[in-house]
Chains A and B, each alone.
Chain A
Amino acid sequence: MRALADASERWCDADFPPRVRAQRAICERTGYSLPVVEYALDALFQSASAAALEAAIVDEIGSLSALDGAVERAGRPALHALPVGRVCVVSSRTTIGVAIPPLLFALCAKCDVAVKDREDHFVAAFLKTAAEELEELGTAAVAEAWSGENDARDLAAFDAVVAFGDDVSLRKIRSQAAPRARFVAFGPAASIGYVAREALADAAACTRIAAGAARDMLLYDGEGCLSLHALFLERGGAIAPAVFGEIFRTALDRASVEFPPGPLDARAQARVANARNVAAFRVSEGRGAVIGGSAGYLALLDAPPSEPPSFLPRVVAIHCVDGPADALAYVRAHRLPIEAIALAGNRDDVDAMALETGASRIARFGELQRPPLGGNHGARPRIAEFVRWVTSEA
């Protein structure tokens, strides 16, 4: 655990040569701008401290010692958390570093791990650093890029398979895994934000919320499951939605400088252009407003609730609502699988709504894209997936 934390700490250094090389390769592969990739690596490795790893492990299995031998427990048999066996992590094509947290916890559980790396060989580079910290990590984990089916690993040989991707990919991977293997799937999901009227108290408060929401929206060009895909603004605040829209525009302009957009392919450009045209038509009919600067983002104020999120790069719909019930109705009407929700405003009915959306994480604006290592992404445990529980009454 300490070796992994030390390796992570080295990767926190923006000048660490392997990281610099990996950043370049990730930019090339994903098309994201360098500041976006830098942010991703900072968020990833700064969260992977020894304290964070230990806290997550102790919380889930009781103690670090349980990984090394049977540990007495009050009122229950002694527990030994053995490795589940061989673990395979199949990361998705364009996300950055999603394989790292399960890799860290699987290694902490003393599993042998194979990671489907990407063309940037980012995971392999990190593992090399880890092996420099602790030699045996070099043999416990391997990261290789493979694509398609011809050179795919034999997933049936693994005791646990962690997979990220769309439903089609997950179904396929599941079918290839051993029937009794643990299957840890992270499927498609969306994230939303809700601003209660109390939080719309004054311009300063709104500026903070807008700055956070802009970051949540623009990072990774809005393409991750933690990206802000829909924003709900409660009516009745001191700051009216239209005024908030202007504050949001300023925040988006600033965030666009901090996190420049990646290039869009022609299909995405056509869809964004169409979204802009439709919004402009609606505005001409007296419905809503378009918040769209020259920096390649588009926010649609007072978007029709009948329409699901567009899931277009750097496009977000802002829905003006009377209360949390409206937001919940929207989520249910469009059957949105919610990963996280950002909240501004402390009110019981808002908190209750957040739980009812099915979100596995409630966060502050500006933090959506920075999940803590100890969080339960996808509503899954961190290390418990990778251990085999053995109780001893002897």
Chain B
Amino acid sequence: MSYATEAGELDREILGTIERWRAGARALADSEFGDLARRICAHQLRYNEPYGRYGAAFGYAPDQPPETWQQIPAVPAQAYKEAIMATFDPARAALTFETSGTTGGAGGLHFMETAELYDRSLIAAFDRFVLGDGARLRYLNLVPNPAERPGSSLGYMMDRVARERGTGETGWFVTAESLLFDDFVAAVRSAVAAGEPVCVAATAFALVHVTDEMDARGLSWALPTGSRVMETGGFKGRARVVSRDELYERIASRFGIAREAVVAEYGMTELASQYYDDPLRLRDAPRRKVAPPWLRSRAVSAAGTTLPAGTVGALVHVDLANRSSCVAVATEDLGAVYGDGSIVLVGREAGAALRGCSLDAETLRGIAL
């Protein structure tokens, strides 16, 4: 079977899975997920050369893939920075997303052969977890504008959502240099005057800045009924950190919406699918996050073994929509995975403090700046 035929067949299967879920079909059985994940893994072992070499170190080959989806070798996200993790010639990539850089190192690239897998995965999950009421909204985006930063997966994501689910009035309020606060205020006032509900999509860090600025200027609004805020991205690499609880309280009070109208998204540039706060458990603390059935996760120990349900460990994600790159990605993100597949993320504040006069990488970065 040629590459194109095999890739096409896998894509059709994945798209079919997405479509059936959209139509309300039951979630994938473990065996169905595992079977498709293994075949995607075998495909990647054959055609993604770095992944093939990585898999070989675990004893796997295209004709000898792992027996379960849990055994699929997960590449560290760093691999995207050090090699071309693609099953195809990246010159033919339909989508290319840039991953963030590391200390002393360049960022990486996530190449996707087709936009369809990403787009359909995104819209299906967004519809289910953020737009469960079928709302058409104005999208006020405090994330990079794809026209300015085409490599931003977050920008692309919100652009797709706004195009497919928006009212046509979409605003972008973050540039490479600054946050366009005055323009954002004008857009919010316009929506409030028109009584049109909005979705403010923003990184947690941008929301801190916006609410700070609102406080400084004595601003607050009562957003039209049905408005919501999608928060994402956390505080990675930022000096100022606000607890999520405090942040959501600030958002709710400044925008005049319920806390339950603030929904967190959790994703990675290295993945094609995303987690969202479970819309049925938005009052829980901590909130559970859920994913569409083609994205599953494991919490693992330092040795890489799967931890029991509810035990906190490093998260490893298996995303079937990552057909043309790596189906399994290991992260440093901490979380617990529950029996129903939902996860709870654990913040960095849960980590160990510095010991004595020791030095860790973050301190070092502080010195090096």
Contact = CB atoms under 8 A, between A and B. Distances in A.
9 contacts: A93-B355, A189-B357, A189-B359, A190-B359, A224-B357, A267-B334, A276-B302, A281-B83, A339-B357
B212 interface: no
A273 B368 contact: no
B313 A270 contact: yes
Contact of A337 (B348, B350, B354, B359): B359
B357 A268 contact: no
Contacts of B82: 281-282, 285
B104 A306 contact: yes
B346 A280 contact: no
Nearest to B350: A267
Contacts of A284: 50, 53-54, 56-57
A142 B153 CA distance: 58
Given A167-B366, A274-B330, A280-B54, A267 B352 contact: yes
Contacts of A187: 357
A371 interface: no
B54, B83, B366 pick with most chain A CB within 10 angstroms: B54
A188 B334 contact: no
Interface residues of A, number: 53
Contacts of B302: 264, 268-270, 272-273, 276, 296
A392 interface: no
A307 B103 contact: yes
Interface in A273-309: 273-274, 276-278, 280-285, 296, 306-309
A307 B312 contact: no
Given A187-B357, A306-B105, A278 B78 contact: yes
B280 interface: no
Contacts of A164: 356-357
Interface string B309-335: 000111000000000000000111110
Contact of B103 (A266, A273, A308): A308
A3 interface: no
A285 B105 contact: no
Contact of A165 (B57, B104, B300, B357): B357
Contacts of A347: none
A283 B361 contact: no
Contacts of B74: 277
A149 interface: no
B363 interface: yes
